[in-house]
Structure 1
């Protein structure tokens, strides 16, 4: 088994979460950047669900110094619980990318829109519960999550961390005047530094300064 004791930056072009987890587990707890680029569609969904869960667990067990982190995951209760644990343990995080891959949308009684709003609300709740007094400066959201006006307002009101930039790949919903008014209110209050929408490719590229 190889041990990567001096590894501080880990980047792979195509996500192989099982291999990534093994490297993280043997990284010597010095990793500061984990950059995954989730461009390709998933074929083996069952393995992805389990592999992404183990991937998140290995990060909060082995990466106490992580500052830049990309996560792609299934929106299960187990995944949300592990993400909350990670955020409570990894207190040096500065930039976080969250990509939801929902493989159940064709089999659900809920509409695609309803599920995206539900997942968005859950993520915001986790962030509120676990990231006060931390170093997070930027959060990026991709995939199956959107924020209702009420959930976003509650998040801004309860956020206790640093002035925050939010980047999302979902465009149209935040062009509504009510969203613009809400975002501008918390920009003026110093809670939000920026709230932007961009292409999926740009948002997942953690080297991109949007």
Structure 2
């Protein structure tokens, strides 16, 4: 963030998304203390943590843990505010038993609910993203495919990779777009065939009325 501030001192954004560690937004605020940006937590990371804690707590083979993880995921994906709180309340009510695992997960989930403004879908309706998957994909490609999982790569090699990598990624995107176009042509052909079949259905075909 300090490098960004040095290069773009007037840089400003409406949102800063990260996983649920506060260090990223704190670092951003330190470099841009007058920012209007609001912190958001990546939905994928939130759901991952809610699921993983349930599986660790109940055991990966316990059906109860799987059910709790699914319910928590459904809460985290609910867009409507009222429905969100209804599902959250229902989950907490379901956890209100004497079972120790239920009590621990309820406490964990209540802690998440206190920071709902950072991850609840209805709190980010105007944000252009919901997860950090674009940057995660870039980081994974950089680490695994390019650097070969070598975290001690020389800085000059890393700098060269960062300069040339956008071209490689751009080519991948062009290929992906081309695949979508080709598959789209086949879908269009299927739609036209279905339409023709519908028009020819019956002896006299459909009756078309106009206002």
Q: TM-score, normalised by structure 2?
A: 0.22
More helix by share: 2
Which protein shows a greater Rg?
A: 2
More strand by share: 1
Q: TM-score, normalised by structure 1?
A: 0.22
